[in-house]
Structure 1
Amino acid sequence: MALHFTEAEFAERRARLTARMAEDRLDAMLLFAQESMYWLTGYDTFGFCFFQVLVVKADGSMTLLTRSPDLRQAKQTSTIDNILVWVDRMNADPTVDLRNLLNDLDLLGMRVGIEYDTHGMTGRVARLLDNQLNNFCETIDASYLVSDLRIIKSAAEIAKVRQAAALADGALDAARPLIGAGRSEAAILAAMQAAILAGGGDYAANNFVIGSGEDALLCRYKSGRRVLAENDQLTLEWAGASAHYHAPMLRTLVIGQPSPRHRELFNAALEGMKAIEQVLRPGHTFGEVFDVHAKVMDDRGLTRQRFNKCGYSVGARFAPSWMEHQMFLAGNTQEILPDMTLFAHMIIMDSDRQTAMTLGQTYLTTATAPQALSRHPLELILA
C-alpha cells in the first residue's frame, strides 16, 4: 500500500468528518470530489472523470463504488477496504448500483449528504442520481463539508505544501537562464516542468500559464509557443506539487527595457501584496483581503485593469484546477485562521496599452504574520 500519510493521520481525518456529520445530522455522505476521497483515504486516481462515489456512513465505515480499472488503484493507494465495481456496458446507469448499495447499507429513509459541486459529478450524473434517490432518502447538498474541513492543514500537510513551494522555486530557477530575446517559450515551459518532476513532484492540477507579447495579458493556458522579442513581457503562473499539494507562484517578467507603465503597474502590485500581508492573519476575513487589494488598485486608477478576486486557498487538488473553493472575493466571510495555505496574487492587465503585470506567491498563516513559502523576493524580474 502506497500512502503519503500515516494511518493515524487518516483516522484523525475520518474522526473529524464523522463529528461534522453528527453536527449536521447526516447518516451518510456521498463523496464525489476526488480531493475529498484523497484527503480521507489516500485514494489517488484520475478515474474520477467517470462515475465513482465513496459512501461514508456516520459510524465511519466506507464503501467505494467505482469502475474495474480503479479497483487495484484504490487497493494500492488508499485505506478503503470495501470496494465494489459497477459494470461498464452500453447505456449503463451506475446510480442504480449506488441505490442498491445504499439499500444494503440500511440507508433507506435516512439523511444523506451529497457533494454536488465538484468536477467528479457531471450534470448527467446529478440528474440520474436525483432520480434514483428522490423517493429513497432525504438528500442534502453538502458540497463543501469536506472542503471546509480541509482548509485547515495538519502539520503533515503543511510539510507537503512546503515541499511544493520548494519545487515551485526550483522551477523559476530553471526558467531564469532561458528567458531572453530569441528564446522560446517552449524551452522555458519544458525546463519548469522538468525541474518539478525531477525534484520528485507531481503534475499540477491545471496547466501552467505561459504567455508573452500580447499573450502576457492572458491568465489561462493556451496552445502555441512564441519566441521572445528584444523588448517583451512574459507572464508565468505555475505551481509546485508534492503528493498533490500545491504551492502556486505568479510573475510577469520584462525582457529588455521595462516601460514606465511596467514599473507603474509593478509598484501597484507590490503595494497590493504588502497590504494583503497585513490582513492575511487571524482577526480578518477572506473578504477583507480582497477589499485591501481593491482599495490599492482603485486608489491608483486601476479599477478596470484589476480582477474581482486576488487569491484562494490551496492544498491537495486534482484536475482541472488547483484552486480550492474559498477565494478572496468581496463579501466572503470565511475567517482567516492559523495553518491555512493561501495563494495571494495581483493581476493587472492594461489592454489599452498592452501591458501586463502580475505578482503572486503562497503563504502559510500563523497566529500572527503570514509566512511566505517562497524564497524568491517580490521584485520586478528583468531579463
Structure 2
Amino acid sequence: MPALYFTENEYQARLAATKVEMQTSGLDTLILSDPANIFYLTGFDAWAFYAPLFLVVAANEDQPIWIGRFMDAVSARDTTYMREENIRAYPDSFVQSTTSHPVQPVSEILKERRLDKGVIGVEMGAYYYTARIHAEFVNSLPNARFEDAELLVNRVRLVKSSAEQTYMRQAGRIVDAAMSAAVEKCAPGVRECDVVAEIYKAQISGLPDAGGVYTTSPPHFCADERVRTPHGLWTDRPLKRDAPLNIEIAGSRLHYHCPMTRTVFLGRPPDSYRRLAAAVVEGLNTTMGSIRPGMAAEEVELVWRGSIAKHGFEKEARLGYSIGLGFPPTWGERTVSLRPGDKTVLQPGMAFHCMSGLWLDDTGIAITQSFLVTEEGNEPLTQFERELVSIS
C-alpha cells in the first residue's frame, strides 16, 4: 500500500477544489510542474523535479495523470493514491538530450487521452516550467490554447486542513529545537560552519515523535558586517566578539515549513542596538496582538508600520508572506504578502511568516514569528522567545 501522508478523501477534496478553480478560469486541462503542487494533489514525494515532471488535471478525469522520468514512476506508485494507468513515464533517452525533449512523449500521452485540445492552463512563472518546456508544448499541441494558471493550485493551498496544521505545528517545534541548538553552539571563536552543522542536525533529527526533512532553503547565516544582508550564507570564519548575527532557518515536517529568524549578539550590545531591537520586538508584539480573521493582509502590515514609525524606522520590504507546503527554492507560497495593496482577507487556517526585521545601511536585525490564523485571532507556531539573544 502507498505511504500516504493524508487520507485519500483529503486528496480528493483538494482535487475537487482545484477543478472548481479550473472551471472558474475556463480551463479544460491543467498541466502542473511545481513539485509542491504535484505533492499537494497526489502525495508524490521524491527528488524527481531535476528532470521535467508534470501532473495533468483534466476536468473530465477522476484522477490526475502523473508523467515523469521512467525510473521515478516507482516513487509515484509508492507515495501516491493514483491508479496504475494514471502513472505514466517517458523513456530515459529523453533525459538531458540535445536532440529531443520530454515534452514530446508527454504530448503524445495527452493526445492519447484526448487532452490535446481546448484551453490548457500552465504555470508560466513556476520555477520548474521553463521557456523551453512551454515552446515544446506550443509546438507539439497546435490544437490547444494555452493560458497562464501559475498560482491556481497555490491559492487552493492557502487554507490548511486540520492535518496540515498538525504538520506545521510539528515543524514549529523542530525549528524551535534547531534555533536552540544554534544559540547553544554560538560563541566567539566558533566557526560559522560548525554552528550551521548543529542547525542541520536538529532540522533533520526533528522530534522524538516526528522526524524532519530537508528544507527548501539553506540556513541564512549573516554574521558581523554581513548582518546587513537578509539572505547571506555561512563561511568557515570564526564568529567575532561584540558583533551581531542573523540566523534565518525553518523546520520542515513532511515538507510543511515553519520559518523563524533570530538575531544573536555575541557580547554586550551597545545601547543603540538595544533600542533597535526594542523597536522591532515592540512592533512584532503589537502586530501579533492585532491579527485576527477578517483583516486584510495590508492591514496587518499597517499595524507594524505604525509601531516602528514611532521609533523613526520604516521597512521598505513586505512584512511577511503565506507559508505552508514548500519545495526548493522557497518555503513561501507565492500568494499572499503582508504589504500595502494586498487586500486578501485573512481566514482561519491560513499561515504566515511575519518577517519583522530591519536592514539598515550599517547593520540589521530580525526577530520574526510564524503563525496560524485562528477563529479567535492567531496561534504562534514557535515558542522561542521574541527578543534579541545576547551571549556574553
Q: TM-score range by the shorter chain?
A: over 0.9
2:41 corresponding residue in structure 1: 40
CA distance in 1, matches of 2:65, 2:108: 13
Shift in Å at residue 362 of structure 1? 0.9
Amino acid at match of 1:150: R
Alignment of 1:129-208 (within 5 A): 129-133=137-141, 135-199=142-206, 200-208=211-219
Contact 1:307/1:347, CA 8 A, preserved across alignment: no
Contact 2:107/2:116, CA 8 A, preserved across alignment: no
CA distance in 2, matches of 1:93, 1:24: 29
1:308 corresponding residue in structure 2: 317
Rate the CA distance shift 1:179–1:293 in 2: closer, same or farther, 3 A.
same
> What RMSD in Å do the two structures reach over aligned CA positions?
1.7
Shift in Å at residue 291 of structure 1? 2.6
CA distance in 1, matches of 2:213, 2:116: 41
Contact 2:230/2:359, CA 8 A, preserved across alignment: no
Shift in Å at residue 104 of structure 1? 1.6
1:53 corresponding residue in structure 2: 54
Matching of residue 268 in structure 1 with residue 282 in structure 2? no
What is the TM-score when the length of structure 1 is the normalising length?
0.94
Calculate percent identity across the aligned residue pairs. Answer: 28
Deviations 1:31-65 (A, max 9, x none): 11111110111001222232121111113332122
Gaps of 5+ in 2: none
Deviations 1:319-375 (A, max 9, x none): 111111122222112111101111102121222xx3221111210111222111111
CA distance in 1, matches of 2:172, 2:316: 24
**Greater alpha carbon shift after TM alignment, 281-290 vs 363-372:** 281-290
2:267 corresponding residue in structure 1: 256
Matching of residue 124 in structure 1 with residue 141 in structure 2? no
Given the alignment, which residue of 228, 233, 238 partners 2:249?
238
1:8 corresponding residue in structure 2: 9
1:85 corresponding residue in structure 2: 89
Amino acid at match of 2:374: T
Shift in Å at residue 279 of structure 1? 4.1
Contact 1:279/1:288, CA 8 A, preserved across alignment: no
Deviations 1:269-295 (A, max 9, x none): 112212322443222112222233333
CA distance in 2, matches of 1:94, 1:184: 45
Matching of residue 332 in structure 1 with residue 333 in structure 2? no
Matching of residue 31 in structure 1 with residue 32 in structure 2? yes
CA distance in 2, matches of 1:204, 1:108: 36
Deviations 1:156-178 (A, max 9, x none): 00000001000001112212221
CA distance in 2, matches of 1:42, 1:126: 25
Deviations 1:245-286 (A, max 9, x none): 000000111111101221121112112212322443222112
Amino acid at match of 2:252: A
Amino acid at match of 1:121: Y
Alignment of 1:84-103 (within 5 A): 84-87=88-91, 88=94, 89-103=97-111
**Greater alpha carbon shift after TM alignment, 244-253 vs 92-101:** 92-101
Contact 1:211/1:236, CA 8 A, preserved across alignment: yes
Equivalent pairs counted in the alignment come to: 378
Rate the CA distance shift 1:65–1:309 in 2: closer, same or farther, 3 A.
same
What is the TM-score when the length of structure 2 is the normalising length?
0.92
Shift in Å at residue 9 of structure 1? 1.6
1:114 corresponding residue in structure 2: 122
Shift in Å at residue 186 of structure 1? 1.7
Secondary structure of 2:103's counterpart equals helix
